[in-house]
Structure 1
Amino acid sequence: MAPLRDPQHLKRAFSRMSIDVGARLRFVRARHGLSQRTLAKRAGVTNSAISLIEANRVNPSVGALKRILDGVPIGMAEFFALEPEPERKAFFAAEDLTEIGRRAAKGAISYRQVGDSLFGRKLQILKERYEPGADTGRVPLSHEGEEGGIVLSGRLEVTVDAERRILGPGDAYSFDSRRPHRFRCVGPNPCEVVSACTPPSF
């Protein structure tokens, strides 16, 4: 294969190669500890654009992909040269969970992922911890996929579309992730949640 040295080489290689661009982008983003929202902000694109590409619902142009990769940052040649191996590990101790991002809006939110690499995986599982007052933000989240979770401790306010509920230990939620949604810890104590989404889209 010719070296990927210029846009035309990249364009021809991109069109020829049977590459799961979505899974590869998700792997690179997770390896750099970036959420979809953070990468979108860095690249100057919408969060939904990242979500659609990672779900392989949209095939980005070479120019669009380069712009996104510049936000990581990682070069196009390195991106195409990556050969990540699907993780085969089946069991994870508490200390093995991977921190993939913290939000600082009105209190910290920790997202600890089961598994370091989700390359080739169709499910993402998170252990989430919201400090009192922590909020995912006034702008609702929206992305491809489905998600659900169970509250382990504390009280979590969940808003989906115009519907709002306060969930306590043992309560759960499940919805299409394309519906605008928001999470906020209410009450004086931290809130812990175990959540899952498919395909991996956080």
Structure 2
Amino acid sequence: MQAESGFDVGGRLRQLRLARGLSQRELAKRAGVTNSTISLIEQNSVSPSVSSLKKILDALPVSISAFFAGDEPSAPKAFYRAEELTEIGDGRLSFRLVAARRPERGMSIIHERYPPGADTGEEMLEHEGEEGGVVVAGEIEITVNGESEVLRAGDAYYFDSRLPHRFRNLGEAECVIVSANTPPGFSDGGQELHHV
């Protein structure tokens, strides 16, 4: 995550962990990950998957939006250049969040890129809110509540995020989606990348 976005994931995680008086061991225990996972992330030796980062932030608890916003939210503005979008993907899946540092953001808008074979994971995702999007390029298989559909450029989706769901690129080309979700939160009220 750091290389693409210029964001110091490891440093930010360490700062938040220490501010809460937690050892790496205690945070790992709360998050259900290994001690070495926390250590390697804090050293920026590995880039955590979005699902791993979500588990760790849930254990703090800190929202993904607050994590990437840091301590200095930016003043509201109307326009964002491509380089101003915050990368919150895992290095394989690219999720670029619009207005990540905007205070009191009421929704998440995400520019998503799924390379061929990319998958949000075998474990179906469920969280509070609603989400929708439009496929801009390529194709994606989306499963919602046991029903699967392959969507192509121009096709769209919209569903209750509490229903179990999964995204998979079974095609041979990259899939690009522009999506939105509201509220922009983890199921416990923080900010979340909509499918993780």
Residue in 1 that maps onto 2:55: 41
Task: Rate the CA distance shift 1:95–1:6 in 2: closer, same or farther, 3 A.
Answer: closer
Once the two structures are TM-superposed, the CA of residue 157 in structure 1 deviates from its matched residue by 0.2
Structure 2 unaligned runs (5+)? 1-18, 22-46, 186-192
Correspondence for 1:129:
113
The two structures have a TM-score, normalised by structure 1, of 0.60
C-alpha displacement of 1:84 = 4.8
| 1:40/1:109 CA distance change after superposition, 3 Å | closer
Deviating 4+ runs (over 6 angstroms): 33-36
Indicate whether 1:100 and 2:84 are aligned: no
How many correspondences in the alignment?
139
What are the superposed Cα offsets for residues 16-50 of structure 1, whole Å, 9 maximum, x if unpaired? Answer: xxxxxxxxxxxxxxxxx98873344336xxxxxx4
CA distance in 2 between partners of 1:101 and 1:166 (Å): 22
The superposition leaves residues 163-185 of structure 1 with CA deviations (integer Å, 9 ceiling, x where unpaired) of: 00000000000001111100001
Alignment of 1:35-74 (within 5 A): 37-42=51-56, 50=58, 67-69=59-61
- Checking the alignment, whether the CA contact within 8 Å between 1:118 and 1:124 is kept in structure 2 is no
Aligned twin of 2:104: 120
Corresponding residue number in structure 2 for 1:190? 174
CA separation of 1:153 and 1:89: change in aligned 2, threshold 3 A: same
Shift of 1:118: 4.3
Change (3 A) 1:83 1:134: closer
SS in 2 for 1:156: strand
| Cα distance in 2 between the residues matched to 1:6 and 1:166 | 44
Give SS of 1:142's match.
Answer: coil
Distance of aligned partners of 1:36 and 1:176 in 2 relative to their CA distance in 1, 3 Å threshold: farther
Equivalent pair of 1:147/1:176 in contact (CA under 8 Å): yes
In the other structure, the counterpart of 1:145 is: 129
Counterpart of 1:159 in structure 2 is: 143
Q: What is the distance in 2 between the residues matched to 1:150 and 1:173? A: 7
Counterpart CA distance in 2 for 1:94 and 1:179 is 32
Larger radius of gyration: 1
Q: Which amino acid aligns with 2:105?
A: R
Q: Normalised by the size of structure 2, how large is the TM-score?
A: 0.61
Q: Deviations over 1:35-91 (max 9, x none)?
A: 873344336xxxxxx4xxxxxxxxxxxxxxxx5249x9xxxxxx9xx9754641110
CA contact (8 A) 1:87 1:115 kept: no
Kept in 2, the 8 Å contact 1:86–1:119? The answer is: yes
Aligned CA distance change for structure 1 residues 121 and 86 (closer, same or farther; 3 Å): farther
TM-superposed deviation, 1:120: 0.4
Q: Which runs of 5+ in 1 are unaligned?
A: 8-32, 44-49, 51-66, 73-78
1:96 deviates by 1.6
SS in 2 for 1:152: strand
In 2, Cα distance between the equivalents of 1:185 and 1:165? 12
